[in-house]
Structure 1
Amino acid sequence: MRGRQRVASREQMLGHDKDENLASVRLPNVKPSWQRSLRHVAVASLSSFLYGYHIGVVNETLESISIDLGFSGNTMAEGLVVSICLGGAFVGSMFSGWIADGVGRKRSFQLCALPMIIGAGMSATSKSLWGMLLGRLFVGTGMGLGPPVVALYVAEVSPPAVRGAFGGLTQIATCLGLMGSLFIGIPAKEIVGWWRICFWIPATMLAIFMEICAESPHWLFKSGRTIEAEAEFEKLLGGVHVKPAMTELSKSDRGDGTDSVKLSELICGRHFRVLFIGSTLFALQQLSGINAVFYFSSTVFESFGVPSDIANTCVGICNLLGSIIAMILMDKLGRKVLLLGSFLGMGLSMGLQVIAASSFASGFGAMYLSVGGMLLFVLSFALGAGPVPCLIISEILPGNIRAKAMAICLAVHWVINFFVGLFFLRMLEIIGAQLLYSSFGIFCLIAVIFVKKYILETKGKSLQEIEIALLAQEAT
């Protein structure tokens, strides 16, 4: 009897072990709930909202600002008011990687809010062009810090199955910021001094709400804070997913310190290829002319006799609609398909703009082609070229260089953005709409070829799986 009991108990133990093994196999295949990480991404998206708002706040108000501050009719001064914040953004972006690696993603969000609060107050109370430029420069510094940290944070806290959708959510926040700035700026031409009110959008909420959000487990792990990383994974994914997530994380990040990569290795060393892909994609995004549309759509539409408030409302709606569709499709069709379709659509739209500016179209025909082409351009951009680059670059960058390399890629973005904003009106005067829009269209087609050749599909893959796939691609 005793022998039988021992055998029975051994069988029970074996059966119990077998059940545990089966459970351990099954659990990692259960997808983490997206609800847990949603609120953290939503708070981080406030940074994208503020970015969109401050990009668009001078669109409707630029005429009133120029009259009040005494530089009306000076296209270079107007271009500076638009683009000086992009110069500040370049500075903020260059330091963002080192700040994000030094103090963590949470504290970086809070730091980016500070210059935006100061700069917005300076802009709202300025009495001269120089005061406005200084305020916009401060705002720009915060704007430059925000986008790379948002991209990092979303990539590192989102479950792979919804990472694309969450990346699309930040683009929607940017759209809402742009729309908010356009709508609040509508009374600026009727009410004296209204433009000052438009600048009083505080970034304080971002700084406060980030206190309740999780820190990036990836950053904690690389900093040697393994126990804290596990605790944050539990907040973001749930307890049963902590061990698989930590195991996956250790595959690529083992031994990678946050300070182990030198700038020279990024620019001309073994990481050059991935940095080249990221920088070029951002450069082509900006050379497509999208921000010329956002900055100066009022001026362009008014040249065709279209009221700016109606035109800008339509621009905002197209941008928001495209971003919502992109968020839905990002994890179904994939990043690469959306990028290809987006740049093709933008190239076609610029073709319509060229026809509208030619002798083949006149009167209402030119107006419909120009307005329709611009709205199609914004819609096409929002479907892929807007939300995908930040997301896909944060996905393809290896963990040990992600923050610093993202900073360099976005610095390229800001430099080109700055020159587009500064010289668009001037180039429109000098070379004309046909040649300028043709140039934008050509860059869109170059982007299609570049995406086809260099961009790796990342949908549904963990960051570690993407890193391994890129290493295999480089080896071949």
Structure 2
Amino acid sequence: MSARTVRAEAPTGSAAPPAGHSRGFTLLIALSASVGGLLYGYDTGIIGSALLHLKGPMGIADDTFVQSAVTAITLLGAILGALLTGPVSDRMGRRPTTMLVAVLFIVFAVGCGVAPDLTVLLVMRFLLGLAVGGASQIVPVYIAELAPPAVRGAQTSLFQVMICVGTLLAYLSGHVLGPSHAWRWMLALAAVPALLFLIGMAFLPESPRWLLSRGREAQARAVLARVRSSADEVDTEMDDIRGTLHTEQGSWRELFQPAVRPAVVAGVGVALFSQITGISAIIYYAPSLLELSGFGESASTLGSVGVGVVLTVFTVLGIYLVERWGRRKLVVIGLPGAVVALAVMALMLPWSSGSPEVLGGGGQTVVITCLLAYFAFNGGSLSVVAWLYFAEIFPLRVRGKGTSLTALVLWITNFLVTLLLYFAADRLGVGLVFGVLALFNVLAWVFALRRMAETKGRTLEEIETSLLDGTFAAHGRPVRTR
């Protein structure tokens, strides 16, 4: 919608607060919305521990492919959720869509916990994936559209931190509840934070960019007045947003126009490599992979807790560095460490479905150390950048569709890698699988070096302008300011 056709609309309720009304309000928004990331992390991570205990009662103890299907089917649902959520949020608004995602988390987490048989469990896991995929698309966009440019990277990356926190909580739940084989409780417990997520979102504002795209100028200004430090910032941002608005949301065809193509290439590439490098699938299967490497059940779940701790710590460190080093530089520096860690594990572990017991205590120490190093270097770089990057690089007219596309690519890749990784490790050898993942990390490093544009310190409107004037991405060179 152009500036000439924007329809002024009086805000409901009291008058808008003065600019800078609450310094911590954007942080509160980011923290509250990023609980969606915690649910994403818990619901995808808990299956690794639950699988150790449910495979017997569900009659799949000797079928690693069906075990992989129980794990991966949530990701299949996430593909559909990611595809639908962008257009839904463009129509309904960012906040109502986020609340709908919270309801899905509640309903289907409980459904997984009470599933009476394998068929119902698979259906509930698939439907839970709708919420997981939806959260992956809408939460980063919602946070990015409300965050000040100077801290947009850090605040949007809270989503990734909360994914790690959710994963850590899943591993802790699995280790604590494992001795009692309470896998139903492991799966159903996610409904508690999901309810808190729903309640918290009820008190947060709508995205000012979405409001202005609907002609609700007064409401958009009122929201900006609460999340910016001065009236001048509010006026400037209102003008910037108007400058990027058109009569209607862009079509899917517009997403693939030449001007937008560099953003699509960068976003799809980051989405693909964020998963094909293995981090999500290893999270889902960490206890089982450690068992294949010769660890006992208790040691496997405890080692997974270590993975969760390291992933969380280095994700926080990555968020600290992403605004200081930039998105591209962080990935280029971090991935070589992941390559080395995977290569060492590949050399130490069998390249066939042989006996894990040949690995002695010292060898197991090296393996777990390298596994933790892999999560530090990959989880603290590429995984930190991915969701932030998707929310930044697309023009407003097609931002919902662009983030849906990248999330779709991410979830399809995640589904395929997850479906195949544990099965391949069991049939072909853990060492071979880690060797292939080391190669994919090398390819990801080359892509980041050549195709990622830097978005550090730029407003969303400046990034959009760089696409239109052809200065977005040239071997990682920074975008040009207007």
Q: Which amino acid aligns with 2:113?
A: A
Which residue does the alignment assign to 1:317? Answer: 309
Which residue does the alignment assign to 1:380? Answer: 377
Query: Does the alignment pair 1:248 with 2:240?
Result: yes
Residues 326-365 of structure 1 mapped to structure 2, 5 A cutoff: 326-357=318-349, 362-365=359-362
Task: Specify every segment of 5 or more residues in structure 1 that has no aligned partner in the other structure, as ranges.
Answer: 1-29
Instruction: Return 185-194 or 201-210, whichever deviates more.
Output: 185-194
Q: Where is the helix percentage greater, Structure 1 or Structure 2?
A: 1
Determine the C-alpha separation between the residues in 1 that align with 2:360 and 2:71.
30
Which residue does the alignment assign to 2:366? Answer: 369
SS in 2 for 1:473: coil
Which residue does the alignment assign to 1:12? Answer: none
Task: Specify every segment of 5 or more residues in structure 2 that has no aligned partner in the other structure, as ranges.
Answer: 1-18, 352-357, 475-482
Determine the C-alpha separation between the residues in 1 that align with 2:51 and 2:148.
42
2:197 aligned residue (183, 195, 206): 206
Instruction: Return 261-270 or 128-137, whichever deviates more.
Output: 261-270
Instruction: Return 455-464 or 262-271, whichever deviates more.
Output: 262-271
Determine the C-alpha separation between the residues in 1 that align with 2:310 and 2:20.
33
**Per the alignment, do residues 352 and 197 of structure 1 end up closer, same or farther by CA in structure 2, a change over 3 Å counting?**
closer
**Per the alignment, do residues 31 and 352 of structure 1 end up closer, same or farther by CA in structure 2, a change over 3 Å counting?**
farther
- 1:347–1:441 CA contact under 8 A, matched in 2: yes
CA shift, 1:170, in A, is: 1.6
Q: Which amino acid aligns with 2:361?
A: F
SS in 2 for 1:313: helix
Query: Does the alignment pair 1:129 with 2:118?
Result: yes
Q: Which amino acid aligns with 1:255?
A: H
- 1:89–1:142 CA contact under 8 A, matched in 2: yes
Identity across the alignment (%):
25
- 1:187–1:194 CA contact under 8 A, matched in 2: no
Which residue does the alignment assign to 2:162? Answer: 173
For the aligned residue pairs, the C-alpha RMSD in angstroms reads: 2.1
Query: Does the alignment pair 1:216 with 2:200?
Result: no
Query: Does the alignment pair 1:452 with 2:444?
Result: no
CA shift, 1:401, in A, is: 0.7
Query: Does the alignment pair 1:65 with 2:54?
Result: yes
Residues 28-427 of structure 1 mapped to structure 2, 5 A cutoff: 35-202=24-191, 203-240=194-231, 241-251=233-243, 253-255=244-246, 257-258=248-249, 261-267=250-256, 270-302=259-291, 303-305=293-295, 307-357=299-349, 362-427=359-424
- 2:21–2:225 CA contact under 8 A, matched in 1: no
Q: Which amino acid aligns with 2:435?
A: S
- 1:171–1:386 CA contact under 8 A, matched in 2: yes
Determine the C-alpha separation between the residues in 1 that align with 2:105 and 2:451.
36
- 1:57–1:198 CA contact under 8 A, matched in 2: yes
SS in 1 for 2:380: helix
Q: TM-score, normalised by structure 2?
A: 0.87
Determine the C-alpha separation between the residues in 1 that align with 2:326 and 2:467.
17
- 1:48–1:170 CA contact under 8 A, matched in 2: yes
Determine the C-alpha separation between the residues in 2 that align with 1:248 and 1:192.
55
- 1:109–1:206 CA contact under 8 A, matched in 2: no
